[in-house]
């Protein structure tokens, strides 16, 4: 096996094991008695949610309740983005949905700001789209930004400021200009696998810091770097797609790290203005972390696979960006020829930790590598947990696990995403409340410095390869109406109640309906 982050995951997941791979059949009760659960029963390490103790959870003063979005998922007319081209290729997006048929955020800017206000949000995370500002290579090289694009983002920032809403800006949220990621030429280096990506991304970041630094303090360079890498170069769920190859992916991931570092330094160089937070640029990534459980907690290969996946997915990158510890061969040790400890080129290149949390994965040493939702190393093991419309397990207790794991980095944490696809608006309130509850307990009981929570998403939107089916919004979009009306969900009222009072009671959660079955979306894995 050649080296590489996911090569190691692959090694772990294809390791020999005496037992059969899970069949995908529902779990049966096994031989264990009802009151003596069998710890070796497949899936036994994933237990139902039991709320942490206490009658109420209060959030620290100034805790930032907000909502999140991304340009490609809500804007119309991003015709020079790789995702725009990708969505035009048959079979890439469920039902052939197209981003242009989405919420059309620029035309509804006032509606979205009004929605934030109505939900009691004090913060909004959104992206500035590289392909809107620089639609062509020539426009970038000559530094001739699209004036209408710049004006649109300034208009949004002003409207947010007038409404007292704090911005957090992502400068790369999955979509890349098509002049850097050309899906018609997948055999040539594309996207982050290009050698020029780090300097170009640094330049892009520098210009954004200069242009918007007086209005923005909080920056995300790259959203979910590892999801992007796996999705683009290994799973084929994101552009540029095939040839899918683990070395290709790892090569791109290393260049992505360089691009982030260039972006981090450039934003600090160009944004020296405090826009109101008490500091100028504060820069990080939005990192998708999750809980990895062994399929069979009594099987050594499953335990090892879960541990390795956890390290690679949850720690490998932040170890590099916070401590400067670069594990080039991704073996969990820092003794390889290209490994480095406390490398000053990497160390301290995040000012806070961005955390996107969506749940739990089961890992088996006997399984071949699988991709679900663009993520590696977990299988479709049926569990008894309630599910989202994406068929993801709902696992609020995992929030505390991932937060505790981040504690060693000693940096403030923002929850940059967390949310649920729920077309019926039947489960969203409970999901929101249970997840916020566990964050509150992590702050109070585990001493974890969480400063804010951005619900994904403000409105329903274009959910990448799943199209418009998953409805994550605090506000429902009526896609059939040209007015694209934003209608509040029940969860938006609960969100406001929690944000306004800065607290959540156990009684509030108990009064919410129990989870009901999801409306599964096409392609839900
Ligand atoms: C995350 C993405 C975000 C959205 C949610 C559901 O992985 O960052 O754009 O699609 O999942």
Closest-lying ligand 1 atom to the alpha carbon of residue 288: 7
CA distance 151 to 133: 10
Give the pairing type, strands 64-68 and 123-127: parallel
Ligand 1 near 422 CB (within 6 A)? no
Q: Is residue 94 part of a domain?
A: yes
Please give the mean pLDDT across all residues of the chain.
Answer: 90
For the segment 361-369, the average pLDDT, to the nearest whole number, is: 71
Ligand 1 near 108 CB (within 6 A)? no
Q: Is residue 345 part of a domain?
A: yes
DSSP-derived letter for residue 28 is P
Least confident of 168-182, 282-296, 366-380, 505-519: 366-380
The protein residue with its alpha carbon nearest to ligand 1, atom 9, reads: 70
Both tokens of 481, joined, read 């109406």
The conformational region for residue 365 under phi > 0 = left, psi -120 to 50 = alpha, else beta, is alpha
Q: Is residue 91 part of a domain?
A: yes
CA distances from 13 to 3, 79, 220, 239 (A): 15, 39, 32, 25
Q: How confident is the model at residue 125 (pLDDT cuts 50, 70, 90)?
A: very high
For the segment 139-150, the average pLDDT, to the nearest whole number, is: 98
Ligand 1 near 463 CB (within 6 A)? yes
Q: Is residue 517 part of a domain?
A: no
What domain count does the chain have? 1
Q: How confident is the model at residue 383 (pLDDT cuts 50, 70, 90)?
A: confident
For the segment 11-32, the average pLDDT, to the nearest whole number, is: 32
Residue from 356, 374, 422, 435 whose mutation best tests the ligand 1 pocket (most atoms within 8 A of CB)? 356
Q: Residue 207 pLDDT more than 80?
A: yes
pLDDT of residue 302: 85
Q: Give the pLDDT confidence of 26-39 residue by residue, as tens digits.
A: 333 334 445 667 88
Q: Is residue 429 part of a domain?
A: yes
Q: Give the pLDDT confidence of 421-461 residue by residue, as tens digits.
A: 999 999 999 999 999 999 999 999 999 999 999 999 999 99
Q: Is residue 485 part of a domain?
A: yes
Q: What is the CATH number of the domain that holds 215?
A: 3.20.20.80
Closest-lying ligand 1 atom to the alpha carbon of residue 70: 9
Q: Is residue 525 part of a domain?
A: no
pLDDT of residue 27: 31
Q: Residue 358 pLDDT more than 50?
A: yes
Peptide bond into 457 cis (omega under 30): yes
Q: Is residue 521 part of a domain?
A: no
Ligand 1 near 327 CB (within 6 A)? no
CA of 251 to the centre of ligand 1 (A): 23
Residue linked to tokens 């949390």: 357
Ligand 1 near 357 CB (within 6 A)? no
CA distance 218 to 286: 12
Give the pairing type, strands 282-294 and 353-363: parallel
Residue 239 lies in domain: 4-510
Residue 83 sits at the vertex; the CA angle it makes with 242 and 169, to the nearest 5 degrees, is 125
pLDDT of residue 367: 59
CB 484 within 8 A of CB 75: no
């Amino acid at each position: 096996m050649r080296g590489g982050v996911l090569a190691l995951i692959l090694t772990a997941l294809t390791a020999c094991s005496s037992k059969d791979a899970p069949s995908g059949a529902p779990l049966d009760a096994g031989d264990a008695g009802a009151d003596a659960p069998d710890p070796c029963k497949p899936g036994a390490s994933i237990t139902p949610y039991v709320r942490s103790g206490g009658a109420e959870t209060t959030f620290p003063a100034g805790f930032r309740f907000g909502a999140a979005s991304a340009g490609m998922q809500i804007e119309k007319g991003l015709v020079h983005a790789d995702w725009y081209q990708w969505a035009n290729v048959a079979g890439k997006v469920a039902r052939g949905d197209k981003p242009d048929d989405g919420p059309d955020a620029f035309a509804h800017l006032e509606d979205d700001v009004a929605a934030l206000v109505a939900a009691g949000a004090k913060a909004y995370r959104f992206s500035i789209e590289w392909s809107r500002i620089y639609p062509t290579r020539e426009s970038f090289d000559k530094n001739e930004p699209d004036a209408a694009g710049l004006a649109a983002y300034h208009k949004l920032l002003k409207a947010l400021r007038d409404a007292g809403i704090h911005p957090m800006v992502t400068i790369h949220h999955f979509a890349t200009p098509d002049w850097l990621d050309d899906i018609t030429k997948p055999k040539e280096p594309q996207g982050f696998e290009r050698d020029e990506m780090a300097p170009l991304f640094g330049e892009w970041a520098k210009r954004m810091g200069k242009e918007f630094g007086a209005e923005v303090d909080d920056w995300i360079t790259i959203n979910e770097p590892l999801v992007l890498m796996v999705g683009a170069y290994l799973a084929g769920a994101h552009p540029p797609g095939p040839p899918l190859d683990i070395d290709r992916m790892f090569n791109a991931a290393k260049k992505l790290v360089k691009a982030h570092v260039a972006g981090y330094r450039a934003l600090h160089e160009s944004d020296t203005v405090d826009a109101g937070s008490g500091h100028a640029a504060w820069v990080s990534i939005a990192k998708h972390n999750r809980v990895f459980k062994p399929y069979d907690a009594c099987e050594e290969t499953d335990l090892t696979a879960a541990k390795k996946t956890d390290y690679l997915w949850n720690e490998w990158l932040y170890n590099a960006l916070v401590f400067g510890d670069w594990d080039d061969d991704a073996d969990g040790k820092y003794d390889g020829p290209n490994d480095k400890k406390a490398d000053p080129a990497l160390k301290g290149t995040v000012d806070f930790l961005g955390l996107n949390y969506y749940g739990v994965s089961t890992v088996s040493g006997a399984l071949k590598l699988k991709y679900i939702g663009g993520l590696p190393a977990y299988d479709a093991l049926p569990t008894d947990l309630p599910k989202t419309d994406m068929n993801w397990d709902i696992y609020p207790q995992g929030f505390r696990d991932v937060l505790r794991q981040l504690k060693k980095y000693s940096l403030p944490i923002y929850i940059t995403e967390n949310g649920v696809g729920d077309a019926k608006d039947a489960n969203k309130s409970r999901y929101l409340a249970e997840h916020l509850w566990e964050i509150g307990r992590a702050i109070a009981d585990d001493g974890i410095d969480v400063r804010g929570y951005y619900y994904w998403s403000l409105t329903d939107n274009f959910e990448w390869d799943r199209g418009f089916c998953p409805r994550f919004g605090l506000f429902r979009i009526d896609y059939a109406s040209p007015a694209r009306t934003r209608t509040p969900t029940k969860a938006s009222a609960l969100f406001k109640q929690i944000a306004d009072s800065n607290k959540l009671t156990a009684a509030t959660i108990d009064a919410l309906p129990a989870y009901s079955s999801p409306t599964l979306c096409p392609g839900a894995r």
